[in-house]
Amino acid sequence: MQSLSLLCLPLLLLFNTAIANEPKSSQQFGDYVIHYSSFNSTFVTPDVAKIYALTRDKRTGLVNIAVHYKGKPIPAQLEGETANLLQQKEALTFRLIDEEEAIYYLAPFHFINEEVLHVTVTVTPEQGGSPMTVRFSRTFYEG
């Protein structure tokens, strides 16, 4: 398990870097905080992509969502979509990544170079609670 944790460390560092580069990367709803980021899938190393069965492609991005309740990661149900400026939409299918001390969700999506996408994600904590929605926009570039 320790070797898997060491292999996953670059993925966590990548997410932290991706989150740090966004103007606002979290939203608070009472005791809940939803952290979010999105980035080109080519930022994920081939080794990490293989472990998590992620597709690396210059026109594929990833949305990353983590939900915390009172500072601790919790599981949740997520529904979301991307929409471009013409309101063409793509549903997001999130996949759980549970690394014991970190729980987050990844969803791939497609884009064209220099495309502005609006991302909407509704999060419902599995422990109960009302749905919470985060929205953000980002321009994506082929990588």
Q: How large a percentage of the chain has pLDDT more than 70?
A: 84
Side chain identity at residue 21, one-letter code: N
Q: What is the pLDDT of residues 34-52, one digit of tens each?
A: 999 999 999 999 999 999 9
Q: What residue has token string 């980035």?
A: 39
**What's the pLDDT at 143?**
73
**How many domains would you assign to the chain?**
1
Gap between the Cα atoms of 55 and 77, Å rounded? 22
**pLDDT tens, 99-130?**
888 999 999 999 999 999 999 999 999 988 89
What is the pLDDT confidence band of residue 12, given thresholds at 50, 70 and 90? Answer: low
How is 36-103 classified by DSSP, letter by letter?
EEEEEGGGS-HHHHHHTTPPP-TTEEEEEEEEEETTEE--EEEEEEEE-TT--EEEE--EEEE-SS-E
- Tell me whether residue 127 is exposed, middle or buried, using C-beta atoms within 10 angstroms of its C-beta: 0 to 12, 13 to 18, 19 or more: exposed
pLDDT of residue 127: 86
Q: Which residue has the tokens 């898997």?
A: 4
What's the CATH number where 105 sits? Answer: 2.60.40.3340
Domain span at residue 84 reads 2-140
Tell me the CA distances in angstroms from 114 to 51, 125, 134, one per residue in order. 29, 34, 22
pLDDT of residue 2: 45
